[in-house]
Amino acid sequence: MSNPQRLIASLDLTGLAPELLLGMYRRMVEAREFEEKLYYLFLTRIMPGTMHQATGQEAVAVGVINALQPNDYVTSTHRGHAHSVAKGVPLKEMMAEMFAKRTGVCRGMGGSMHLCDFSKGMLGAFAIVGSGIPVATGAAMSALVRGSGQVAVSFFGDGAVNEGVFHEALNMAALWKLPVIYVCENNQYALSMTVEKSSAITNLAARGSAYGIPGEQIDGNNVIAVYNATQRAVQRARNGEGPTLLECITYRIRGHARFEASHYRDPSEAETWKQYDPITRLRQALVEAGCASDEQLEAIHIQVDEDLEEAIAFAESSPNVQPDDFIPYITDERAYA
Ligand SMILES: Cc1ncc(C[n+]2csc(CCOP(=O)(O)OP(=O)(O)O)c2C)c(N)n1
Ligand SMILES: [Mg+2]
C-alpha cells in the first residue's frame, strides 16, 4: 500500500475564491452523504441492486470537475456517484435512478453503474472496467474536429490501466493531440488486488511517458492539489498541446461494493487513511484561512441532508419503471430528444 504521508502536502488556498472553495466543500459533502444514504437504504432493503462507494475519494471527482467548464465532457466508472454529483447531475434525478423510477436521470433504466446526463456533459458511468476511456477519447476527438474548445476527462481506476484499451486510447490521443485528460484514481486496489501485485511499475503516471504524454502523481485527498493539476492539464488541452495523465493517489475507505467486507486488507490501513480524509482536510484549511466558520460549514452539512431527504421522498413517490419502457428507445428516434 502506498504510504499516504508520502504525498501529503498541506492545502494551499492562495488565490482561490471563497465561493469556489465552499462550492467544492459542498460538492464533496453531497457526494459523501449521497452514498451514505444509499448504504443505509440498501442495508434496510428499501433499495434493490448494488453500488460502489467512493468514500474517501471525493476530492478527485470534485477537484477535477471544478477545473472544467460546464459543457466539457466526463466519462466515469462503476464507482461513479461522486463524478455525477460533481458534474451537477441533479440529486433528485440521481436518487430516483437508484430506485429504478421513471423520473430517474436515465428514466430508471440505468441504475448506479450507468448514470449519465448528456445535458451536463456526463457521458456515462461504465461498468466494464476501462471502457469509458475510449469514449472520452472519442468525445475529445469530436471537440477537436468541431473546434468547440471543449475538453474531455476520463476517470478510471488503477485496475483499468492494465486493460489494453487504456494503451490504445493514450497512443491515439497523443498522436492526434486530443484535448483529453486521463484521471487515474489510484485507490490502491482493484477489487482485492493491490497495485503492487498487478502493475510492474507502481508509478502509474509514468506510463504516460511511453506515449509522450506528461504524467503527474498527485495527492488525491487534497482537493486543491487535484484542482490545480487539472487546471494545468485543461490549459494544455485547450492550447492544442494534447493529453495529460493524472494519477490521483487516494484510498477506498469502504469495501469494493455494497456489503464487501475487505477481508484481504488490514483494517489499520483504512484507519491510517481516515486521518487524511479529504473533507476534513478542506474543512480545517477553510477554518484556518478564515474563509468559513465551523458554523457555516455545519450549515452546509444540514442543507445537504435536507436536500437528500427531499431527493429520497421524490424518488419513493415516483412511478416505477415498467418492463416495456425501453421499447421507444429502440424504435423511435424522438425518444432521445
Ligand atoms: C473488463 C472487466 N473486467 C472485470 C470486471 C469486474 N470488476 C468490476 S470492478 C473491478 C475492479 C476495478 O478496479 P479499479 O479499476 O482499480 O477501480 P476501483 O474499483 O478501485 O474504483 C473488477 C475487476 C469488469 N467489470 N470489467
Ligand atoms: Mg482501484
Residue 3: count other Cβ atoms within 10 Å of its Cβ.
Answer: 9
Q: What is the pLDDT of residue 329?
A: 83
Residue 327: count other Cβ atoms within 10 Å of its Cβ.
Answer: 11
Please indicate whether residue 190, judged by its CB atom, sits closer than 6 Å to ligand 1: yes
State which ligand 1 atom lies nearest to the alpha carbon of 77.
Answer: 21
- Residue in the block written with cell 434496510: 44
1, pLDDT greater than 80: no
Please indicate whether residue 129, judged by its CB atom, sits closer than 6 Å to ligand 1: yes
d(CA 249, CA 299): 30
Please indicate whether residue 192, judged by its CB atom, sits closer than 6 Å to ligand 1: no
Nearest CA to ligand 1 atom 4: 129
Arithmetic mean of pLDDT over the chain: 95
The reported pTM is 0.97
As a whole number, mean pLDDT of residues 2-17 equals 80
Q: How far is the CA of 316 from the centre of ligand 2 (A)?
A: 32
Task: Give the C-alpha distances (Å, rounded to integers) separating 293 from 13, 22, 23, 218, 284.
Answer: 15, 11, 15, 28, 10
pLDDT of 287-304, one tens digit each? 999 999 999 999 999 999
The ligand placed nearest to the CA atom of residue 156 is 1
Q: What is the pLDDT of residue 273?
A: 95
Mutate to test the pocket of ligand 1, among 129, 183, 247, 256 (most ligand atoms within 8 A of CB): 129
Q: How many residues comprise the chain?
A: 337
Q: Nearest to residue 101, comparing CAs of 311, 321, 313, 327?
A: 321
As a whole number, mean pLDDT of residues 272-276 equals 95
Residue 207: count other Cβ atoms within 10 Å of its Cβ.
Answer: 21
d(CA 35, CA 250): 17
Please indicate whether residue 193, judged by its CB atom, sits closer than 6 Å to ligand 1: no
State which ligand 1 atom lies nearest to the alpha carbon of 157.
Answer: 15
Please indicate whether residue 247, judged by its CB atom, sits closer than 6 Å to ligand 1: no
Nearest CA to ligand 1 atom 19: 190
Q: What is the pLDDT of residue 2?
A: 65
Residue 207 · residue 245 · CB < 8 Å: yes
337, pLDDT greater than 60: no
Please indicate whether residue 128, judged by its CB atom, sits closer than 6 Å to ligand 1: yes
**Beta pairing partners, 218:** 248
Please indicate whether residue 117, judged by its CB atom, sits closer than 6 Å to ligand 1: no
C-alpha radius of gyration, the chain, whole number? 19
Element (H, E) at 295: helix 294-316
The ligand placed nearest to the CA atom of residue 54 is 1
Residue 211: count other Cβ atoms within 10 Å of its Cβ.
Answer: 18
d(CA 237, CA 239): 5
pLDDT of 49-65, one tens digit each? 889 999 999 999 999 99
48, pLDDT greater than 90: no
Residue 314: count other Cβ atoms within 10 Å of its Cβ.
Answer: 18
Q: What is the pLDDT of residue 178?
A: 98
pLDDT of 75-127, one tens digit each? 999 999 999 999 999 999 999 999 999 999 999 999 999 999 999 999 999 99
332, pLDDT greater than 80: no
For ligand 2, a single-atom ion, the residues with CB < 5 A are 157-158, 187, 190
Q: What is the pLDDT of residue 230?
A: 98
pLDDT of 18-38, one tens digit each? 999 999 999 999 999 999 999
Q: Nearest to residue 248, comparing CAs of 150, 181, 193, 177?
A: 181
Q: What is the pLDDT of residue 330?
A: 83
d(CA 187, CA 158): 7
Residue 69: count other Cβ atoms within 10 Å of its Cβ.
Answer: 11
Q: What is the pLDDT of residue 263?
A: 93
Mutate to test the pocket of ligand 1, among 191, 193, 248 (most ligand atoms within 8 A of CB): 191
pLDDT of 133-184, one tens digit each? 999 999 999 999 999 999 999 999 999 999 999 999 999 999 999 999 999 9
